[in-house]
Amino acid sequence: MIRFFTLGTFVIVTAGLVMNADAGGLKKSDSKVKATATATKIENGKQTVTITLDIEKGWYLYANPVGAEDFEGNKTNVSIKAKDKVQAKVKYPEGTPKVEKIGKEEIKISIYEDKVTIQAEVARVKGDTSPLQISIDVNSCNKGTCLPPGTVKLMVP
């Protein structure tokens, strides 16, 4: 994601790409997150999905909502699919407040650190018991470094 920030008469362009020396190549944000998911039994066409994200120590994800318009494209986002169409109402937890400094400008955002649990209420088509396909879009950063966006994918029976 390319960002443009105007600070006085200067324009700063950030591409968010970082080479990771210890891997010998480019890493994505999903490399800093381990995810698991569980789902309740389907009852009356509905089930609850619980997603747990374990974020590598020293790294953080942008929360949903992130709290600053310039960073909204970086927020953690969950989408759920099945064989038939599903409707998922995702409940994102509140993030931890953080201040990002861009030049002299301070921007208040919300982040997820360590471990975060996200729940979704899923409404399914009658008779559909197919596995749920879960995609979690993430953007990982640590002190001064942000990796390119990544997607964690899970299947829940």
Q: What is the CATH number of the domain that holds 140?
A: 2.60.40.1250
With cut-offs at 50, 70 and 90, classify the pLDDT of residue 108.
Answer: very high
Cα(116)–Cα(3) distance, rounded to whole angstroms? 27
* Residue 15 included in any domain: no
Q: What is the pLDDT at residue 109?
A: 95
* Residue 62 included in any domain: yes
User: Contact, 42 vs 123, CB < 8 A?
Assistant: no
SS3 31: helix
* Residue 19 included in any domain: no
Using the predicted structure, report yes or no on whether residue 154 has a pLDDT greater than 80: yes
Q: What is the mean pLDDT of residues 2-21?
A: 39
Cα(90)–Cα(108) distance, rounded to whole angstroms? 23
pLDDT (tens digit, 9 = 90+) per residue, 48-81? 999 999 999 999 999 999 999 989 999 999 999 9
Q: What is the pLDDT at residue 25?
A: 60
Peptide bond into 65 cis (omega under 30): yes
For residue 133, count other CB atoms closer than 10 A to its CB.
15
* Residue 7 included in any domain: no
Count of domains for the chain:
1
> Which residues are CB-neighbours of 89 under 8 A, at least 6 positions away?
120, 121
* Residue 64 included in any domain: yes
Cα(84)–Cα(86) distance, rounded to whole angstroms? 6
* Residue 76 included in any domain: yes
pTM: 0.81
* Residue 149 included in any domain: yes
* Residue 74 included in any domain: yes
Give me the domain span that covers residue 118. 28-156
User: Residue 128: what residue type?
Assistant: D
